[in-house]
Amino acid sequence: MNIKNIDAYQIYDSRGYPTLEVEVELEDGTTGRGLVPSGASTGQFEAWELRDGDPTKFRGKSVFNAIANVKGEIAGALKGDSVFDQKNIDQKMIALDGTPNKSRLGANAILGTSMAVANAAANAKNQKLYEYLGNGEGHLIPLNEIQILGGGAHADWATDIQDFLVIAIGAKTYEETLEMTHNIYHEAGKVMKEKGKCVGIADEGGWWPDYTNNEEPFEVFMEAIQRAGYEAGNDVAISLDIAASDLFDGENYHLRLENKKLSPDEFYALMKDWCEKYPIVSIEDPFADTEFDYWQKFTQEFGHRVQVIGDDLFTTNIKRIEEGIAQQLANSVLIKLNQIGSVSETLEAITLTQKAGWLPVVSARSGETEDAFISHLAIATNAGQLKVGSFARSERMVKWNENLRIQRHLGDKATFIGGKIYDQIFSTASV
């Protein structure tokens, strides 16, 4: 089944920023779409998101050049190709682009096309996307990592930490993770409103707090868990995305909220203190993406009981993940399609992570769309974990809801292992 036509349009993401929708049409009239997400706290090693930069058009954020690249060069190169050869199509676009970070044609142009090709191929085979991407092997319904409070670049630095998330480690079913999260999310909102500390909703749907120091959110979080009737550390655990590269100036870490400057050693001590004081099961980007020594030391010290996730550290980049594995910098990799810019490279990054005995966490971006591609990606690859922001707003809920649909579609084949996913890294990591 060959590609007949490729078209692209400007649509708008969850922040109302322009992004791309690509549509691939096959010779028999089958179509597939790709909707491209966009980050705010992006890592310096990510593939290049091509924006027009013309202040008179959408304040510089329009993507008309990326759209022209899809309709022109990319469509020209891919017309007539077999839609089932995802890797070949992605490699062809990478070669056509010719830069190491997809900056000529734009990673958004390439990814939108790549996702649309995958969707069209699944449609042509009359399969669900997760069946197609996973060659029928996907069956594991992911454990959710769900944001309760938003901060950092997603809430104008209301807290220095970007995400306070909950993981329902004690849930026996996927539905139960959603119920527990629902209860804690709303209890946290209530606690914050009672204390006059809730300003609204941050970019990913979590509560946007009004705090004066970085300990307050932990107190609210612990109170919400307890008032919702759960035992912290047993039923549910805390997960943090520090997004530390955003705090680092090359020498020190800056805590804007407390107007404090911490040396890398002092910052290490702070991460250590939090992991000792609170029931933290997972921590993402605890150090800047250049501070390998601290990552290594931290993973050695906490990797036996804390999932240490590299997001900005790895940017879903095969070479960076390989280097991280060789140096044991972490024990988990955050997986974002648009950090690397094609479906087949993303699949490769997940496989590489799993082969090393590490855990992949499939993730959304802070700028999301109404598309649920990542739910299918997580289940197709048996990644075991999914991070999509909060338990509010439809661009987030569509992913949790799609997991429920896929679970129903899988029927008896669906499996859910919940918090047992961590046995794999916690038993093997060096203490």
Residues across the chain: 431
Which residue number, 94 or 313, has a Cβ lying nearer to ligand PGA?
Answer: 313
The interface region with Zn ion, picked from 25-33, 199-207, 234-242, 389-397 by CB under 5 A, is 234-242
Which of 102, 128, 197, 336 is catalytic? The answer is: 336
CA-to-CA dists, residue 263 to 32, 247, 248, 272, 417, angstroms = 49, 11, 10, 14, 40
Which residue number, 133 or 242, has a Cβ lying nearer to ligand PGA?
Answer: 242
Site string for Zn ion, 237-276 (x = CB under 5 A): ----x-----------------------------------
The rounded Cα 331 to chain-centroid distance in angstroms is: 16
Which residue number, 42 or 62, has a Cβ lying nearer to ligand PGA?
Answer: 42
Among 144, 150, 145, which Cα is nearest to 164's?
Answer: 150
46 binds Zn ion (CB under 5 A): no
What residue number has its CB nearest to Zn ion? Answer: 311
C-alpha–C-alpha distance, residues 172 and 143, integer Å = 10
Cα angle 238-363-218, degrees, rounded to a multiple of 5: 20
Which residue number, 183 or 282, has a Cβ lying nearer to ligand PGA?
Answer: 282
User: The dihedral of CA 163, 226, 210, 37: what is its sign?
Assistant: positive
Residues with Cβ within 8 Å of residue 408, at least 6 apart in sequence: none
Q: Verify whether residue 223 is a known catalytic residue.
A: no
Which of 204, 284, 291, 395 is catalytic? The answer is: 204
Site string for Zn ion, 300-319 (x = CB under 5 A): -----------x--------
Owner of token pair 């601290």: 294
Using a 10 angstrom Cβ sphere, with 0-12 exposed, 13-18 middle and 19 or more buried, the burial of residue 157 is middle
338: partner contacted, choices ligand PGA, Zn ion, none (Cβ within 5-8 A by kind): none
- Lookup: tokens for 303: 């990797």
Contact residues toward ligand PGA (CB under 6 A) are 39-42, 162, 241, 243, 311, 363, 365-366
39: partner contacted, choices ligand PGA, Zn ion, none (Cβ within 5-8 A by kind): ligand PGA
Q: Verify whether residue 336 is a known catalytic residue.
A: yes
108: partner contacted, choices ligand PGA, Zn ion, none (Cβ within 5-8 A by kind): none
Q: Is-contact 196 246, C-beta < 8 A?
A: no
Cβ of residue 286: shortest distance to ligand PGA, in angstroms?
13
Q: Which residues bind Zn ion (CB under 5 A)?
A: 241, 284, 311
Residues with catalytic function:
204, 336
